[in-house]
Structure 1
Amino acid sequence: MKAILIPIIALLLSFGLSMIITRLITMKRRREGRLTRRRRLVTFGVCLFLIYNIGAVVYFGIYSHATERAGDYLKGSGTVRVEQIDEGYRFDGPGSDDALVFYPGAKIEETAYAELMVDMAEKGLDCFLIKMPLKMAFFGKMKADDVIDKYSYKNWYVGGHSLGGAMAGVYASRAGEKLKGIVMLAAYTDDKLPDDLKMITFTATEDGVLNWDAYEEAKKNWPNNVTEVSIDGGNHAGFGDYGEQSGDNTATISPEEQMQRVADDTIAFVRVNEKYKI
C-alpha cells in the first residue's frame, strides 16, 4: 500500500532538489543582473523534469525478479496450457466454468506467481496473470475488464497479492455483477466491497511487510461472506516465488508449501464445498 505514495514523495523530493539546483545555477547570473524571471522558471522546469524522470527510471527499473524455478512453470503441465496474451498470461486447465484474474504485488515480476497459477488451473480454476504497467497494479487497476470482456466463463473471480490485492479490491468495488468473488493475499482494500460478493483472504503469521493495523481497520470494508485463512509459518514473500523481501520475517515453511495451501483453499472456496459451507 505504501507504494501508492511513492510517485507523490518522488515529485516532492524532485521539486525540492530542483529548487536547490536552480538556485545554484542561477546565483552567479542573478548577481550580474543577467537572468530574467522567465529564464529562472525555465531552468527550474528543466531540472524538475530531468530529476523526476531519471528517478522514475531508476525506481521502476529495480524490482523483484521471479526465480528460475518460477519461470519453469510457464511451460505449463500435463493438464495446464500456458499462453502468453496481450494482458499477460493465461493458464488454461481442465476447468471451463471458473476463472481468476490475478494482480501481482508491487514491483514484483508477474511470473513469480506462475507456480500458484498452475496449481489452481490444474484443479479447475483457470487463471489470468496480469502484466502491470511499470509492475505496479496501481496503474492497471481496471485491467481485469480487458480479460473478462474477451473470454467467456460462467464465474469470474479477481484477486492479488499485496498492492495487487488492494487494487483488485478497487476493481471489485466497481465491477458490479461481473464478479462472483475476490481472493486477497496479504492485502486489504480501502474500498467498500459489495455485500453479495464472497471473499477469501489469506495472511501469514511471519509476514513482516503487511500493515496489520490497516488490515484490521479495513475489515469494515469486507462483504458479508468472508473466509479468513492464516498460514502458520508463512511470510509475505511466500505468496510468490521471488526470493526474500525487505522488511519481511523469516518463514518456517517453503514458498511451495505456502502457495499450495493458497491453491487448495482457493479451490475449496470457489467450489463452495463442505470445507467452508458458503
Structure 2
Amino acid sequence: MPRLATKPVRPLRRWARVGLVVWGLGFMLYLANSVRTQGVAPAQLHSDTRVQVLSSADALELRPIASLQARGLIFFSGSGVSAEAYVPLLRPVAEAGHRVFIVRLPWRFAPLESHRDEAIAQARALIASQPEATGWVAAGHSLGGAIAARWLQSPPPGVTALVLVGTTHPKDHDLSALQLPVTKVYATNDEVAPVRRVLGNRRLLPASTQWLEIKGGNHSQFGHYGHQLFDGDATITREEQQLLTRGALLQALAHIPAMPGSTTDKP
C-alpha cells in the first residue's frame, strides 16, 4: 500500500510550542523563587540558650527554654511559603516566653479543601501535645489566615484569640458572632490582599475586632521571602512591618490594650 504523506509541521508552529513550554517553565520557576525563603540568618534557625528550634513534617516549633509561659501561638504559613520564612517574625515571640508552632501546609500550597482540613488537624494535634498550656492564639498569613478563620468557625477548646495577617479572609465563613478577641492586620501596599477587599469583608468579623493598618507595608514583607506576584512595593522596611505585626500577636497573647501609635480603631 502506498504510504500516506504526512503534513509537515510548520516551523512557526513548532517554535511557538517550544516558546510556550519555555515560558511556562520560566513562569513556574519565577513563582517558586518568589516564595523562596530569603534573608533569614542561619543562627535564627538553630537552637540557642533562649529558644529551642524543633522541626517536624507538620510544624516548626520555637520553644522557650528559660521562661516558658502557659500560652502559645499556632501560626499557619502562607501558600507556598516555608515555615522557616516566618522565624524572624515569630522567634521574638518565643523569646518572650510563648511556645510557637508554625504549621507547614500540606503540599506547601494546600490546594484542596482536604489539605486545609489536614492543616487544621495538624494544629489540633499540636495543641493536644501540649496539655500544660492554658491558652492558644490562632493566627495565619494569607492562605494561612483563611485556614485559621476556617478553624475558628467552631472554636476548639483552649483557643482564646484569632489574629489574621495579610488576608482578605474570612470571606467564605461568617465569624461575626465569634465570642473571642479578633485582630486583623493589613498593609496599605498589599496588592495580594488589597485593602478594599480586606475592608469589604469586615461584616464577617465581630464588631469588636481590632484593626491594625500598617502604612507602607505589602504582602511579602509579613514573611522573609521574595516579592510575590502582583504584590505592591513596600515603602517601609520588612523589620518595621514585622515589628508592628509581632506587636499585635503579643497583644493577643497577653490580653493587653492595642500598642500605642498604631491604627487599631475599627474602620
> RMSD across aligned C-alpha pairs, in angstroms?
2.5
Counterpart-to-counterpart distance in 2, 1:179 and 1:195: 12
Corresponding residue of 1:240 = 223
Match of 2:88 among 115, 126, 130: 115
Q: Does 1:216 align with 2:199?
A: yes
Richer in helix (by share): 1
Q: Does 1:144 align with 2:96?
A: no
8 Å CA contact retained: 1:71, 1:114: no
What is the letter of the counterpart of residue 91 of structure 1?
Answer: L
Report the secondary structure of 1:170's partner residue.
helix
Higher relative contact order (CA 8 A, sep 6+): 2
Q: Equivalent pairs: percent with the same residue?
A: 24
Give 1:124 deviation, angstroms: 2.8
Q: Does 1:101 align with 2:71?
A: no
Corresponding residue of 1:42 = none
Corresponding residue of 2:184 = 201
TM-score relative to the length of structure 2: 0.74
Counterpart-to-counterpart distance in 2, 1:263 and 1:214: 23
The unaligned stretches of length 5 or more in structure 1 are 1-27, 29-54
Corresponding residue of 1:47 = none
Match of 1:185 among 147, 150, 165: 165
Counterpart-to-counterpart distance in 1, 2:258 and 2:78: 28
What is the letter of the counterpart of residue 106 of structure 2?
Answer: P
8 Å CA contact retained: 2:75, 2:101: yes
Report the secondary structure of 1:105's partner residue.
coil
TM-score relative to the length of structure 1: 0.72
User: Could you say if the C-alpha distance between residues 76 and 265 of structure 1 is closer, same or farther in structure 2, counting changes exceeding 3 Å?
Assistant: farther
8 Å CA contact retained: 1:97, 1:155: yes
What is the letter of the counterpart of residue 148 of structure 1?
Answer: I
Give 1:241 deviation, angstroms: 0.5
Pairs within 5 Å for 1:74-93 = 74-93=45-64
User: Could you say if the C-alpha distance between residues 203 and 173 of structure 1 is closer, same or farther in structure 2, counting changes exceeding 3 Å?
Assistant: same
Give 1:182 deviation, angstroms: 0.8
Question: Greater shift after overlay, 136-145 or 154-163?
Answer: 136-145
8 Å CA contact retained: 1:233, 1:252: yes
Give 1:217 deviation, angstroms: 3.0
8 Å CA contact retained: 1:119, 1:260: no
The unaligned stretches of length 5 or more in structure 2 are 5-24, 261-267
